Amino acid sequence: MKIDSPDKLNAWKEECLQKDAKLKKKVMVCFGPGCLAAGCREIYAKFEEILAERKLGDITLESFKKTGCHGLCEKGPLVVIEPEGIFYNRVRTSQVKDIVEKTLAKGEIIERLLYKNPKTKERVLKYHDIDFYKKQTRLALRNLGHIDPDNIEDYVMRDGYQSVAKVLTGMTPEEVIDEVKLSGIRGRGGGGFPAGRKWATCRGVESDVRYVICNGDEGDPGAFMDRSIMEGDPHSVLEGMIVASYAVGARDAYIYVREEYPLAVQHLYQAIDDAKEHGFLGENIMGTDFSLDIHISRGGGAFVCGESSALMKSVAGEVGEPRAKYIHSVVKGLWDKPTVLNNVETFANIPLIMNKGGDWFRSIGTEKSTGTKAFSLVGKVENTGLIEVPMGTTLREIIYDIGGGIKDGRKFKAVQTGGPSGGCLPEDKLDLPVDFDTLTKAGSMMGSGGMIVMDDHTCMVDVAKYFLKFLVDESCGKDVPCREGLYQLHKMVVKVTEGKASEADLQLMEHLSKYIIMGSLCGLGKSGPNPFLSTVRYFRDEYLAHIIDKKCPGGVCRDLIRFEINDKCTGCTACIAPCPVDAITGEKDKIHILDQEKCTKCGACYAVCQFDAIDII
Partner 1 sequence: MKPEIDVAELKEIISHSPQKPSSLIAVLQDIQRKFHYLPPEAIKETSSALGVPLSQVYSVATFYSAFSLEPRGKHTCRICMGTACHIKGAPMALEQAEDQLGIKAGQTTPDLRFTLEVVNCVGACAMAPVVIIDEKYYGNVRVDKMKRYLDGVRDED
Rule CB under 8 A: is residue 607 a binding residue for partner 1? Answer: yes
Angle between helices 344-356 and 234-248 (to 10 degrees): 70
Nearest to 142 by CA among 222, 92, 71, 57: 71
Shortest distance (Å) from residue 4 CB to partner 1: 29
Start-end of H helices in 54-151 = 93-98, 105-106, 131-134
> Of residues 368-387, which lie at the interface with partner 1 (CB under 8 A)?
376, 378-380, 384-386
> How far, CA to CA in Å, does 110 sit from each of 101, 124, 253, 370?
11, 11, 48, 41
Q: Are 273 and 490 in contact (CB under 8 A)?
A: no
Stretch that binds partner 1, among 164-172, 270-278, 294-302, 393-401 (CB under 8 A): 294-302
- 204 versus 300: smaller Cβ distance to partner 1: 300
What is the spatial distance between Cα 153 and Cα 159, in angstroms, rounded to a whole number?
10
DSSP three-state, residue 282: strand
Helices 234-248 and 162-170 pack at an angle, to 10 degrees, of 10
Question: Rounded to the nearest whole angstrom, what is the least distance from the CB of residue 221 to partner 1 in the complex?
Answer: 4
- Residue 577 near partner 1 by CB under 8 A: yes
Q: How far is the CB of 200 from partner 1 (least distance, A)?
A: 28
Contact 594, 605 (CB under 8 A): yes
Distance CA 511, CA 506 (A): 9
**String of contacts with partner 1 for each residue 327-356, x by CB under 8 A:** ------------------------------
We find the least distance from the C-beta atom of residue 300 to partner 1, in angstroms, to be 3
Report in angstroms the alpha-carbon separations of 531 from 31, 143, 524.
Answer: 33, 35, 12
Per-residue binding letters, 384-403, with partner 1 (x by CB under 8 A):
xxx-----------------
Rounded to a whole number of angstroms, the minimum distance from the CB of residue 403 to partner 1 is 11
Please answer whether residues 258 and 299 qualify as being in contact, where contact means their C-beta atoms are separated by less than 8 angstroms.
yes
Is 578 a binding residue for partner 1 by CB under 8 A? The answer is: yes
The footprint of partner 1 on residues 70-89 (CB under 8 A) is: 73-74, 76
Q: How far is the CB of 569 from partner 1 (least distance, A)?
A: 17
Integer distance in angstroms from the first to the last C-alpha of the chain? 69
- HSE value, Cβ hemisphere, 13 Å, CA-based, for 560: 27
Task: Please state whether the peptide bond connecting residue 77 to the residue before it is cis, i.e. omega within 30 degrees of 0.
Answer: yes
Q: Give the closest residue to 533 by CA, choosing from 470, 442, 447.
A: 442
Q: Which of 124, 311, 348, 452 binds partner 1 (CB under 8 A)?
A: 452
Site string for partner 1, 183-222 (x = CB under 8 A): -----------------------------------xxxxx
Count of other CB atoms within 10 angstroms of residue 543: 23
CB of 515 to partner 1, least distance (A): 26
Measure the CA dihedral 371/376/380/384, to 10°: 100
For partner 1, the closer of residues 194 and 426 by Cβ is 426
How many residues touch partner 1 under the rule CB under 8 A: the total is 62
Q: Rounded to an integer, what distance in angstroms lies between the CA atom of residue 5 and that of residue 165?
A: 7
> Is residue 574 at the binding interface for partner 1, with CB under 8 A as the rule?
yes
Q: Using the rule CB under 8 A, is 37 a contact of partner 1?
A: yes
The C-alpha angle 89, 94, 100, rounded to 5 degrees, equals 75
Name the residue nearer to partner 1 (CB basis): 182 or 602: 602
Report the chain's C-alpha Rg in angstroms.
Answer: 26
Nearer to partner 1, 16 or 415 (CB): 415
Q: How far is the CB of 390 from partner 1 (least distance, A)?
A: 22
Closest C-alpha among 301, 232, 299, 305 to residue 270? 232
* Binding range to partner 1, per CB under 8 A, among 276-284, 392-400, 492-500, 602-610: 602-610
184, with CB counted inside 10 A (0-12, 13-18, 19+), is: buried
Query: What mask, x for binding partner 1 by CB under 8 A, covers residues 520 to 559?
Result: ----------------------------------------
Q: For residue 238, count other CB atoms closer than 10 A to its CB.
A: 29
Phi and psi torsions of 426, nearest 5°: -85, 180
Nearer to partner 1, 183 or 384 (CB): 384
Out of 224, 290, 412, 532, name the contact with partner 1 by CB under 8 A: 224
CA distance 213 to 244: 10
Sole binder of partner 1 in the list 85, 107, 204, 300 (CB under 8 A)? 300
- Rounded to a whole number of angstroms, the minimum distance from the CB of residue 535 to partner 1 is 13
Q: Which is nearer to partner 1, 182 or 599 (CB)?
A: 599
Q: Indicate whether 33 belongs to the interface with partner 1 (CB under 8 A).
A: yes
Binding piece for partner 1, criterion CB under 8 A, among 128-136, 391-399, 448-456, 479-487: 448-456
Which residues in 2-31 contact partner 1 (CB under 8 A)? none
Residues that bind partner 1 (CB under 8 A): 33-34, 36-38, 73-74, 76, 218-224, 227-228, 259-261, 297-303, 314-320, 376, 378-380, 384-386, 416, 419, 450, 452, 454, 458, 463, 466-467, 470, 474, 476, 574, 577-578, 580, 602-604, 607-608
